[in-house]
Structures are given as structure tokens and as C-alpha cells.
Amino acid sequence: MTKTLVQEQFGKTAASYLTSAPHAKGASLERLVTLTSPQKDWRALDVATGGGHVAYTFAPHVARIWATDITQEMLDMVRAEAQKRGLANIRTAYAKAEALPFEDASFDLVTCRIAPHHFDSIPDFLAEVQRVLKPGGTFALVDNVVPAGSTGDYVNAFERFRDPSHLRAWTMQEWRDALQKAGLGVTHEEQIFKKMEFKAWAARHDADMQSFLRAMLEEMTPAVKAVLEPAGDGDTLTFRLCEGLFIAKKE
Ligand SMILES: C[S@@+](CC[C@H](N)C(=O)[O-])C[C@H]1O[C@@H](n2cnc3c(N)ncnc32)[C@H](O)[C@@H]1O
């Protein structure tokens, strides 16, 4: 089978997602547990699990959690890591977000963190979340968000040059509208800012591409600068990304 751009990109970099600080330690992980109040008898599903951090975080709180992804290297890594951590209630499975291989109304909780900006169709993904959730079930979503208009376009382009499988991060309003349209009633939303270390973020590229990305941070308009907040220089250069967190209930 030919690999998609996503499978190619994430297959090559899978190991880095197990240790990457914004993924392994991001503030949104514990916020998700606090805001969803998971129960010991819940069946949960984590879509686009990547390094598996949402699954490891929720596993002690629920009966079972499926960690799913389309990149086989991620699934193999998560299976081994779950075993290493003694988390016997994590199962892994190949699942495309837009066509989940699960029965209707089979989960109490569906989670998805820092991934929909890679999906071919977010509306198709949300329709699938709505389908597999039990009535009254909880959807917990985190994804990078951008401001509307050309400022958001610049942030998306910056991210896409670094990772061509980054399609487009949405605005908070786009998420509100799409969740409502999918029959997922928002009960909570917040934004979480995360500081990114440029050196680690750009490390997968050669020197020329790293210089190009650095120039994108240095030569931006004041409006973009106010969003990305570059600080420091050389090895200490940092910038800021924003995550949108939504908790929604199947209506
Ligand atoms: C940044 S990682 C996810 C991070 C992880 N959820 C976390 O919280 O640490 C993005 C993942 O999305 C997966 N992915 C991209 N498109 C997908 C799709 N359409 N369906 C399922 N998984 C997808 C990739 O294979 C990759 O493992």
C-alpha cells in the first residue's frame, strides 16, 4: 500500500513524539482529565493517538481506551510503551479519523489532541465522533488554533513549511460552528498557550530550511508577531502557539 504524506511524515518521526515536551507534558493533558471527569466503567477512544500520551493519561481512569492512528510506527510504539508502563487496558488499532472502524454508540468518551489540522476532512471526522459516541457521551478536543484572516494564514504557512502534513489549523469560531453542526453541544472551551523551542521544533530539517523558518519568525508583520511572540535568539529562540480546547456532549 502506498503511504500517504501523513504516514510518511509521522512514520519517520514517530519516536520523537514519545518524548516531545509539548506532546508528553503539555498542560492540556491534565486539563482534559479534570474537565471530563472520567469514570471507571467508561469505554474511551483516542483518535490520532500519535505518541499515545492521551491514552496513557486516561488509562488509569477508565475501563478501556483504544489508542488509534493511521501510522503503523505510532501504533507499534504505543503498544510497546503501554506494556512498559503496565497499562493493560490500552488497545491499539488502525483507524482513520474520517472512517472509524467502531460500532455506533459504543464509547462514553472520545478524545483527540493536536491532530485534526492534519485530517483530510474535519466535518467527516466530527460526524464519526457523533456516530460512535453513546447518547450524552463526551467529546474532548484539543487542536492548535489560529486567528482569523491573513494572520492565521501566516501561522498556518509557517507550520506547513516545517511539516507539509499540517493542512490547516482552524479558528475557535470554525470549531464552534462545526461542533454545533455535528450535533456536539459545547459545554466548555478555553485556549492554552504553549511556548515552543525553535531549535527542537525545527530540528528535523537541514540548515537551509531552519534558516528559512527562522527568517519567517524574524520578518513577520506586527500582527503576526503579537500572536507568535518570538523571543530570544540563536539557540534560545522561542515562539508561542495556541491550543483550543473544547468539551462537547453528544446531543
Ligand atoms: C501530532 S500527532 C498526535 C499527537 C497526540 N494525539 C498527542 O496528544 O500527543 C498527529 C497524529 O495524527 C495522525 N493522523 C493524521 N491524520 C490522521 C487521520 N486522518 N486519521 C487518523 N490519524 C491521523 C498521525 O499519524 C499522527 O500520529
On whether the pTM is more than 0.85, the answer is yes
CA of 48 to the centre of ligand 1 (A): 4
Tens-level pLDDT at each residue, the chain (251 residues) = 567 888 888 888 888 888 887 888 889 999 999 999 999 999 999 999 999 999 999 999 999 999 999 999 999 999 999 999 999 999 999 999 999 999 999 999 999 999 999 999 999 999 999 999 999 999 999 999 999 999 999 999 999 999 999 999 999 999 999 999 999 999 999 999 999 999 999 998 889 999 999 999 989 999 999 999 999 999 999 999 999 999 999 99
Q: Within 10 Å of residue 232's Cβ, how many Cβ atoms?
A: 11
Phi, psi values for residue 183, rounded to 5°: 80, 30
Q: Choose among 74, 154, 60, 64: nearest CA to 114.
A: 74
Provide the β-strand partners of residue 64: 43
Q: Which residue has the cell 513577520?
A: 220
Q: Which residue has the cell 497499562?
A: 87
Phi, psi values for residue 181, rounded to 5°: -60, -30
CA of 74 to the centre of ligand 1 (A): 9
Which residues are near ligand 1 (CB < 6 Å)? 6, 10, 17, 23, 48-51, 53-54, 69-71, 74, 96-98, 113-115, 118-120
Return the ligand 1 atom nearest residue 29 CA.
8
Return the ligand 1 atom nearest residue 112 CA.
6
CA of 157 to the centre of ligand 1 (A): 19
